[in-house]
Amino acid sequence: MTDIKAQPFPFPLQREAVALIVIDMQRDFAEPGGFGASLGNDVSRITKIIPDVKRLIAGFRLAGLPVIHTMECHRPDLSDLPPAKRDRGNPSLRIGDLGPMGRILIAGEPGTAILPELAPIDGEIIIEKPGKGAFYATGLGDILKGKGIKQLVFAGVTTEVCVQTTMREANDRGYECLLAEEATESYFPEFKAAAIAMIRAQGAIVGWTAHIDDILEAINHA
Protein backbone atom coordinates (compact mmCIF):
# COMPACT_ATOMS: atom_id res chain seq x y z
CA MET A 1 0.00 0.00 0.00
CA THR A 2 1.23 3.50 -0.89
CA ASP A 3 0.20 6.63 0.96
CA ILE A 4 -0.74 9.80 -0.92
CA LYS A 5 0.38 12.99 0.80
CA ALA A 6 -2.97 14.53 1.78
CA GLN A 7 -4.93 16.49 4.34
CA PRO A 8 -5.76 15.94 7.15
CA PHE A 9 -3.39 12.94 7.02
CA PRO A 10 -1.99 10.60 4.35
CA PHE A 11 -4.49 8.80 2.12
CA PRO A 12 -3.92 5.01 2.16
CA LEU A 13 -4.04 4.28 -1.58
CA GLN A 14 -5.30 0.89 -2.74
CA ARG A 15 -4.12 1.12 -6.31
CA GLU A 16 -6.05 -1.93 -7.51
CA ALA A 17 -9.30 -0.50 -6.18
CA VAL A 18 -9.22 3.23 -7.05
CA ALA A 19 -11.01 5.20 -9.76
CA LEU A 20 -11.19 8.84 -10.84
CA ILE A 21 -14.59 10.53 -11.05
CA VAL A 22 -14.71 13.76 -13.05
CA ILE A 23 -17.86 15.64 -12.13
CA ASP A 24 -19.84 17.69 -14.67
CA MET A 25 -17.09 19.32 -16.72
CA GLN A 26 -19.72 20.37 -19.24
CA ARG A 27 -20.08 23.23 -21.68
CA ASP A 28 -23.25 24.41 -19.92
CA PHE A 29 -21.23 25.12 -16.78
CA ALA A 30 -18.04 26.42 -18.36
CA GLU A 31 -18.91 28.40 -21.48
CA PRO A 32 -20.70 31.72 -22.13
CA GLY A 33 -24.33 31.13 -23.02
CA GLY A 34 -24.65 28.07 -20.80
CA PHE A 35 -26.56 27.48 -17.59
CA GLY A 36 -23.75 28.67 -15.33
CA ALA A 37 -23.54 31.98 -17.15
CA SER A 38 -27.35 32.34 -17.12
CA LEU A 39 -27.17 32.40 -13.33
CA GLY A 40 -24.81 35.39 -13.53
CA ASN A 41 -21.62 33.45 -12.80
CA ASP A 42 -18.10 34.07 -14.03
CA VAL A 43 -17.51 30.89 -16.03
CA SER A 44 -13.82 31.68 -16.49
CA ARG A 45 -13.32 30.30 -12.97
CA ILE A 46 -14.34 26.90 -14.35
CA THR A 47 -12.33 27.00 -17.57
CA LYS A 48 -9.12 27.83 -15.69
CA ILE A 49 -8.99 24.33 -14.14
CA ILE A 50 -9.22 22.52 -17.51
CA PRO A 51 -5.43 21.96 -17.79
CA ASP A 52 -5.24 20.49 -14.29
CA VAL A 53 -8.25 18.24 -14.82
CA LYS A 54 -6.77 17.12 -18.13
CA ARG A 55 -3.45 16.33 -16.45
CA LEU A 56 -5.18 14.30 -13.75
CA ILE A 57 -7.20 12.32 -16.29
CA ALA A 58 -4.08 11.66 -18.34
CA GLY A 59 -2.30 10.37 -15.25
CA PHE A 60 -5.05 7.89 -14.48
CA ARG A 61 -5.14 6.72 -18.08
CA LEU A 62 -1.38 6.26 -18.10
CA ALA A 63 -1.63 4.21 -14.91
CA GLY A 64 -4.36 2.04 -16.45
CA LEU A 65 -6.90 3.09 -13.81
CA PRO A 66 -10.62 3.71 -14.40
CA VAL A 67 -11.88 7.17 -15.31
CA ILE A 68 -15.59 7.89 -14.87
CA HIS A 69 -17.27 11.05 -16.15
CA THR A 70 -20.58 12.50 -14.98
CA MET A 71 -22.97 14.85 -16.75
CA GLU A 72 -25.87 16.62 -15.08
CA CYS A 73 -28.75 16.46 -17.53
CA HIS A 74 -32.44 15.70 -17.89
CA ARG A 75 -34.73 13.90 -20.28
CA PRO A 76 -36.13 16.00 -23.13
CA ASP A 77 -39.66 15.66 -21.72
CA LEU A 78 -38.42 16.96 -18.32
CA SER A 79 -40.04 13.99 -16.57
CA ASP A 80 -37.04 13.68 -14.25
CA LEU A 81 -36.86 17.41 -13.47
CA PRO A 82 -38.77 18.38 -10.31
CA PRO A 83 -40.48 21.80 -10.42
CA ALA A 84 -38.61 22.66 -7.22
CA LYS A 85 -35.36 22.45 -9.19
CA ARG A 86 -36.48 24.10 -12.42
CA ASP A 87 -38.35 27.02 -10.86
CA ARG A 88 -35.77 28.08 -8.28
CA GLY A 89 -34.20 31.52 -8.47
CA ASN A 90 -34.42 33.97 -11.35
CA PRO A 91 -31.97 32.84 -14.06
CA SER A 92 -32.11 34.28 -17.56
CA LEU A 93 -32.51 30.70 -18.82
CA ARG A 94 -34.03 27.77 -16.96
CA ILE A 95 -33.29 24.08 -17.38
CA GLY A 96 -35.03 22.95 -20.55
CA ASP A 97 -35.11 26.40 -22.13
CA LEU A 98 -33.52 26.96 -25.53
CA GLY A 99 -30.17 28.71 -25.27
CA PRO A 100 -27.20 29.39 -27.56
CA MET A 101 -26.02 25.77 -27.15
CA GLY A 102 -29.39 24.09 -27.38
CA ARG A 103 -31.78 23.29 -24.58
CA ILE A 104 -30.18 23.91 -21.20
CA LEU A 105 -29.01 20.72 -19.42
CA ILE A 106 -30.99 18.38 -21.64
CA ALA A 107 -29.45 15.05 -22.62
CA GLY A 108 -28.02 15.07 -26.13
CA GLU A 109 -27.88 18.85 -26.50
CA PRO A 110 -24.56 20.52 -27.44
CA GLY A 111 -24.31 22.47 -24.19
CA THR A 112 -24.70 19.36 -22.09
CA ALA A 113 -21.59 17.78 -23.63
CA ILE A 114 -18.36 17.39 -21.73
CA LEU A 115 -15.76 19.97 -22.72
CA PRO A 116 -13.81 18.69 -25.75
CA GLU A 117 -10.46 19.02 -23.98
CA LEU A 118 -11.70 16.54 -21.36
CA ALA A 119 -13.80 14.27 -23.57
CA PRO A 120 -14.08 10.62 -22.55
CA ILE A 121 -12.24 8.06 -24.63
CA ASP A 122 -13.52 4.67 -25.71
CA GLY A 123 -14.18 2.42 -22.74
CA GLU A 124 -14.62 5.20 -20.19
CA ILE A 125 -17.93 5.29 -18.34
CA ILE A 126 -20.26 8.28 -18.61
CA ILE A 127 -22.94 8.73 -15.96
CA GLU A 128 -25.91 10.93 -16.85
CA LYS A 129 -27.36 12.17 -13.57
CA PRO A 130 -30.53 14.17 -12.95
CA GLY A 131 -29.45 15.38 -9.52
CA LYS A 132 -26.51 16.93 -7.74
CA GLY A 133 -25.13 13.61 -6.52
CA ALA A 134 -23.90 11.00 -9.00
CA PHE A 135 -25.45 8.05 -7.13
CA TYR A 136 -29.04 9.33 -7.19
CA ALA A 137 -31.13 7.70 -9.96
CA THR A 138 -28.06 6.30 -11.74
CA GLY A 139 -26.25 2.99 -12.00
CA LEU A 140 -23.00 4.31 -10.52
CA GLY A 141 -23.16 2.21 -7.38
CA ASP A 142 -23.57 -1.04 -9.31
CA ILE A 143 -20.79 -0.07 -11.73
CA LEU A 144 -18.34 0.57 -8.90
CA LYS A 145 -19.22 -2.67 -7.17
CA GLY A 146 -18.77 -4.57 -10.43
CA LYS A 147 -15.28 -3.12 -10.84
CA GLY A 148 -14.26 -3.74 -7.23
CA ILE A 149 -13.74 -0.04 -6.60
CA LYS A 150 -13.30 0.99 -2.96
CA GLN A 151 -11.63 4.39 -3.32
CA LEU A 152 -12.60 7.41 -5.39
CA VAL A 153 -10.55 10.42 -6.45
CA PHE A 154 -12.70 13.42 -7.36
CA ALA A 155 -12.32 16.32 -9.78
CA GLY A 156 -14.83 18.67 -11.39
CA VAL A 157 -17.45 21.25 -10.54
CA THR A 158 -18.75 22.77 -8.53
CA THR A 159 -16.80 21.95 -5.40
CA GLU A 160 -19.56 22.77 -2.94
CA VAL A 161 -22.51 21.37 -4.90
CA CYS A 162 -22.17 18.35 -7.20
CA VAL A 163 -18.66 17.37 -6.15
CA GLN A 164 -19.26 17.56 -2.41
CA THR A 165 -22.72 15.97 -2.72
CA THR A 166 -21.28 12.98 -4.59
CA MET A 167 -18.44 12.68 -2.08
CA ARG A 168 -20.92 12.60 0.77
CA GLU A 169 -23.04 10.01 -1.04
CA ALA A 170 -19.92 7.90 -1.62
CA ASN A 171 -18.76 8.29 1.97
CA ASP A 172 -22.12 7.00 3.24
CA ARG A 173 -21.71 3.97 0.97
CA GLY A 174 -18.32 3.11 2.42
CA TYR A 175 -15.97 4.55 -0.21
CA GLU A 176 -12.79 6.36 0.76
CA CYS A 177 -12.85 9.71 -1.03
CA LEU A 178 -10.02 12.02 -2.07
CA LEU A 179 -10.52 15.44 -3.67
CA ALA A 180 -7.88 16.81 -6.07
CA GLU A 181 -7.71 20.43 -4.95
CA GLU A 182 -6.47 22.07 -8.19
CA ALA A 183 -8.87 20.02 -10.30
CA THR A 184 -12.05 21.32 -8.71
CA GLU A 185 -13.60 24.78 -8.68
CA SER A 186 -16.57 26.91 -7.71
CA TYR A 187 -17.99 30.11 -9.12
CA PHE A 188 -17.34 31.48 -5.62
CA PRO A 189 -13.79 31.09 -4.23
CA GLU A 190 -15.00 31.26 -0.66
CA PHE A 191 -17.37 28.34 -1.31
CA LYS A 192 -14.54 26.17 -2.60
CA ALA A 193 -12.44 26.98 0.46
CA ALA A 194 -15.33 26.23 2.80
CA ALA A 195 -16.16 22.95 1.04
CA ILE A 196 -12.55 21.76 1.26
CA ALA A 197 -12.47 22.63 4.97
CA MET A 198 -15.73 20.74 5.58
CA ILE A 199 -14.63 17.67 3.64
CA ARG A 200 -11.42 17.13 5.59
CA ALA A 201 -12.58 18.40 8.99
CA GLN A 202 -12.85 16.16 12.06
CA GLY A 203 -10.45 13.52 10.83
CA ALA A 204 -11.56 13.40 7.18
CA ILE A 205 -15.24 13.17 8.09
CA VAL A 206 -16.18 13.20 4.38
CA GLY A 207 -12.79 12.57 2.81
CA TRP A 208 -9.26 13.72 2.14
CA THR A 209 -7.87 16.46 -0.09
CA ALA A 210 -4.56 16.39 -1.95
CA HIS A 211 -2.56 18.08 -4.70
CA ILE A 212 -2.49 16.62 -8.20
CA ASP A 213 1.28 16.09 -8.24
CA ASP A 214 1.10 13.96 -5.08
CA ILE A 215 -1.81 11.91 -6.45
CA LEU A 216 -0.06 11.26 -9.77
CA GLU A 217 3.22 10.34 -8.12
CA ALA A 218 1.47 7.73 -6.00
CA ILE A 219 -0.71 6.11 -8.64
CA ASN A 220 2.12 5.85 -11.14
CA HIS A 221 4.64 4.43 -8.68
CA ALA A 222 2.48 2.30 -6.38
Catalytic positions, please? 24, 129, 162
Are the beta carbons of 180 and 153 closer than 8 angstroms? Answer: yes
For residue 8, the 8-state DSSP code is S
DSSP-derived secondary structure for 79-146 = TT--HHHHTSS--SS-TTSEEBTEETTBTTSGGGSBPGGG---TT-EEEEESSSSSSTTSSHHHHHHH
Are the beta carbons of 161 and 132 closer than 8 angstroms? Answer: yes
